[in-house]
């Protein structure tokens, strides 16, 4: 598919990706107000932004990926957008921890199908030699959604309150769902291949049994432990440690993340396409190097004497998370093969979206509470050291996966 049809598809997929990230990010920048309003602890905030979201998001992605691979990814995607938007708005009515956790479960149920269904649409409707760039454009919605979520969410928090921010985000989702239905258009049926008829759990186990994908999965797990606590607590860190307001932290962090995210996803998508066309087999080497470099600068940023210096030192980490996305999904699709692209994306989401997001923010929140109770200065910064440690592990796993894919798929 070329021309305006491909353009329309990528526009709506970009909007879906951005909205998905906005609704996921909002509780991060709103967390200080939610914490005060509902009398919550850092551990409970970590529960809301961690376990409550990650469990449903990760475990439901497999069946939704299977539905997208075997049925209509357009239908799956539109229904998912409607579900998570309704639950985001419902979160604005929360008067207790239990109700807010319930709302986050609902958001996770809807968002679980967004990436697999989007990748299934790209696999069916975009030419193979352009798919890396298409995945990059789709992934670009993540940093831009983060920028909008942090900046607009922070401003909304300071002006109209956290509840109104959730109501507004939920209402926007209805309009984007309608645009997605028309913009994605009818999806051509998938030609039958042997892997498409295989039971999805058997397909998943077969894919995980492959050495190339297993190390890619390990990299995704480590990335989850780096990214989830970073995004959940970076703005609270700037607010508490360096005296930023919610609006200042949201705008500064959000704009920086948005700009770096655009750069990372575009460069990552084009870089992956070049690596595949060159036949070098180096399909994960560049993100591996960036992760290792980011671990050092992030550690320094957690103990920098000023908030603006912290932000500058966080730049490589922000870039590494977005830069990795086209490489990781593209490499996963290469290993999985035709008809299993959504499955490969779903398994990658489970790797990056289950253990790290479920446990990472919870561990950081608990460690921060313990440090605060003991009177330790910069307790949140100490707790966030999980981010650079996990970044190193992600880089090492990427290097091993890169070598295995180069040997198995490119004969290098």
Can you give the pLDDT at residue 50?
Answer: 67
**In the chain, what percentage of residues exceed pLDDT 90?**
26
Can you give the pLDDT at residue 206?
Answer: 83
Task: Tell me which long-range contacts 35-44 makes (C-beta under 8 A, separation of at least 24).
Answer: 37/162, 38/94, 38/95, 38/96, 38/97, 38/100, 40/97, 41/365, 41/369, 42/365, 42/366, 42/368, 42/369, 42/372, 42/380, 43/362, 43/365, 43/366, 43/369, 44/97, 44/365
**Structure confidence at residue 224 as a pLDDT band (50, 70, 90):** very high
Tell me the per-residue pLDDT of 142-154, one tens digit each, with 9 for 90 and over.
778 877 887 888 8
Can you give the pLDDT at residue 227?
Answer: 92
Tell me the per-residue pLDDT of 287-334, one tens digit each, with 9 for 90 and over.
999 999 999 999 999 999 999 999 999 999 999 998 998 899 889 888
Tell me the per-residue pLDDT of 196-216, one tens digit each, with 9 for 90 and over.
456 667 777 888 888 889 999
Q: Give the range with max mean pLDDT: 59-68, 165-174, 337-346.
A: 165-174
Tell me the per-residue pLDDT of 23-57, one tens digit each, with 9 for 90 and over.
888 887 788 888 888 888 777 877 776 666 777 77
In terms of pLDDT, which residue wins out, 269 or 194?
Answer: 269
Can you give the pLDDT at residue 286?
Answer: 95
Can you give the pLDDT at residue 390?
Answer: 96
Tell me the per-residue pLDDT of 77-134, one tens digit each, with 9 for 90 and over.
999 999 999 999 998 898 888 888 888 888 888 888 888 888 888 877 777 767 777 8
* R_g (Cα) of the chain, nearest Å: 20
* Alpha-helical regions (H) of 243-354: 246-278, 285-301, 307-313, 315-336, 341-353
195, pLDDT greater than 70: no
Supply the mean pLDDT for the chain: 84
In terms of pLDDT, which residue wins out, 235 or 341?
Answer: 235
In terms of pLDDT, which residue wins out, 195 or 7?
Answer: 7
Nearest Cα to Cα of residue 392 among 290, 265, 300, 315: 290
Can you give the pLDDT at residue 197?
Answer: 54
Question: Is residue 22 within 8 Å of 149, Cβ to Cβ?
Answer: yes
How far, in Å, CA of 257 to CA of 250, rounded? Answer: 10
- Torsion angle of the four alpha carbons 43, 46, 51, 57, in this order, in degrees rounded to the nearest 10: 170
The reported pTM is 0.72
How far, in Å, CA of 388 to CA of 84, rounded? Answer: 31
Can you give the pLDDT at residue 194?
Answer: 46
All structural domains of the chain, each given as residue ranges with its CATH number in brackets, are 3-410 (1.20.1250.20)
2, pLDDT greater than 70: no
């Amino acid at each position: 598919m070329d021309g305006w049809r491909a353009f329309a598809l990528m526009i709506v997929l970009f909007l879906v990706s951005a909205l998905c990230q906005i609704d996921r990010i909002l509780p991060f920048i709103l967390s200080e107000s939610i914490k005060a309003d509902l009398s919550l602890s850092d551990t409970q905030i970590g529960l809301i932004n961690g376990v409550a979201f990650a469990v449903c998001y990760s475990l439901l992605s497999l069946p939704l990926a299977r539905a997208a691979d075997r049925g209509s990814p357009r239908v799956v995607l539109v229904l998912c957008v409607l579900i998570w938007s309704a639950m985001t708005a419902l979160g604005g009515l929360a008067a207790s921890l239990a109700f807010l956790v319930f709302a986050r479960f609902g958001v996770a149920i809807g968002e679980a199908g967004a990436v697999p269904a989007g990748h299934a649409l790209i696999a069916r409707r975009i030419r193979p030699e352009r798919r890396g760039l298409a995945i990059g454009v789709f992934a670009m919605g993540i940093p831009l959604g983060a920028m909008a979520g942090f900046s607009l969410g922070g401003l909304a928090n300071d002006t109209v309150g956290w509840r109104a921010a959730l109501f507004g985000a939920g209402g926007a989702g209805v309009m984007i769902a309608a645009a997605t239905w028309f913009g994605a258009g009818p999806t051509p049926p998938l030609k039958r291949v042997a892997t498409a008829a295989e039971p999805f759990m058997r397909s998943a186990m077969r894919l995980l049994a492959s050495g190339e994908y297993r190390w890619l999965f390990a990299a995704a797990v480590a990335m989850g432990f780096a990214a989830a606590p970073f995004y959940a607590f970076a703005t609270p860190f700037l607010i508490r440690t360096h005296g930023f307001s919610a609006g200042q932290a949201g705008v500064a962090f959000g704009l920086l993340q948005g700009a770096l995210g655009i750069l990372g996803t575009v460069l990552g998508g084009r870089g992956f396409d070049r690596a595949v066309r060159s036949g070098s087999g180096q399909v994960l080497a560049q993100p591996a190097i960036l992760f290792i470099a980011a671990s050092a600068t992030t550690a320094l940023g957690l103990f920098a004497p000023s908030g603006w210096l912290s932000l500058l030192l966080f730049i490589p980490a922000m870039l590494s998370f977005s830069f990795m996305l086209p490489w990781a999904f593209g490499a996963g699709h290469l290993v999985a093969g035709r008809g299993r692209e959504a499955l490969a994306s779903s398994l990658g989401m489970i790797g990056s979206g289950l253990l790290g997001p479920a446990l990472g923010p919870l561990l950081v929140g608990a460690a921060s509470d313990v440090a605060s109770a003991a009177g330790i200065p910069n307790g949140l910064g100490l707790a966030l050291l999980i981010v650079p440690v996990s970044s190193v592990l992600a880089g090492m796993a990427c290097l091993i996966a890169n070598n295995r894919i180069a040997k198995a798929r490119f004969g290098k």
